[in-house]
Chains A and B, each alone.
Chain A
Amino acid sequence: MTQTDAIADVTVRVQVVRREHTGLMLVALVTLAALIILVALCAPVLCPYDPYAQDLSSALQPPSAQHLAGTDRYGRDLLSRIIIGAQPSVFFTLLLVALIAITGVTVGVLCGWKGGRLDVVLMRVSDLFLAFPGLVFALAIAGVLGGGMTNAVLALAAISWPKYARIARGLTLGQKNEPYLDAARLAGCTTAQLLFRHILPNIAGPILVTAMLDIGTMMMELAGLSFLGLGAQPPMAEWGSMMSDSRSFLQTAPWTVIAPGIAIFVVVMVFNLLGDTIRDYMDPKRRAGRRNARSE
């Protein structure tokens, strides 16, 4: 074996190991994400204490065997509030991502498919939204709409859909003149069939990856709005608002801030890594590599 062959062999082995690593990582992260969603679903059963029950005589207790994450200024068990807080934090984030993905894709596919004036008008509208600094614009909208998770979701949705519209439009334009669509047309497919049966399935991959990557970001932004008092309202347990409520205790009772902070950190990291891993896994080059590996 020459030196060149040896290097090539090592390179192939490294690629194989990476592919396997990506696969394992994906399984692990999907499991973790599923676990987080499961915890959110079963939160009321999993809470060791009533997350809303105040006991002022036990206020600001540090973590102990009785209260694993300590208690807040109202004497409420922090672990229970973090568990129940997974519900608004996770579900509102998923709702938000679904909302912006559906809105953006609808607009993008329409623009890409129809073109003309509709495309020009809608894309300029999306430019208008993209021209503002995102979170500042969301703050303004949430400020006008008032506090509450629903309004926070609407505010973030208003600023986040153009990204999906841009991606979906570009992908639709790419698919629009593909020969398989001409074949489908000749076979008698209606416009709706063309869009739903052929275009959408073919552009779904990159959009799914973008949505997965956005989960972490949106969770942070929702927590940010709650931290600023524009998201969850008392007494709702939501991680961002829990941090905000306790920030004056950062030096005297740090666990009240650290506990929800860790929850946000872990969940955002899991969904971000999941998005990255799905992107890697669906990378066409890697998919080709996997096919080659299988044929070998």
Chain B
Amino acid sequence: MAEQVIVCNELTKRFGDFYAVNKITFEVTKGEIFGFLGANGAGKTTAMRILCGLSYPTSGTATVAGFDVYRQQDQIKRNIGYMSQKFSLYENLTIVENIEFYGGVYGLSRAVIKERSGELIQTLGLEKEAKKLVGSLPLGWKQKLAFSVAIFHRPQIVFLDEPTGGVDPVTRRQFWDMIYEAAASGITVFVTTHYMDEAEYCNRVTIMVDGKIEALDAPQALKQRFQAANMEEVFYQLARSAKRSSD
């Protein structure tokens, strides 16, 4: 049986009488690209924060990379990578400095950091820019670099929160090439997006509506079940009925 790197069982987060996340149950397999979709306010961010070890659930159980979300938050943080559209890198540090900083935060040795950062800069074709401030890079490059930094310590799982928002169509696809490569190397990818064509690139997709998981399957299977031509239509059918619209 395939190894499960995320296991959630009836995971719930309640704020007062508001159920931000309401008994969600799912498993994510090693090396899978797992799309985590939902309308604004459906509870995606809250669920992601719990899985990243940043917030405690109210009830239910979950393990991430084999660690418990209640008792082993530190171990979870060491074994995952995270990148979002908003915060990614330090604009006032150079590319090399950012890589060294993140490598250091994750406790890699100087020798390992040096070796891997050389490789990384070469792979990204950024040799000429290595000593430039990250702030001067185009957005697409920043996002590609941020992703590489997020998996620099070779985490078991990487969480990507709308990584391609606002990125041009060519770079957006190059970014997905990097996601495919990471997944092929055994890193599990947990990704949110508002681009429904990107939902098609995932092995499996969940769609959250009002704190609950309303659908969980491969894109092809979801399209068949909802008799939809594409994932946008599937999403629309499910999310249209949402009552909540908070972020």
Do A and B form a real pair? no
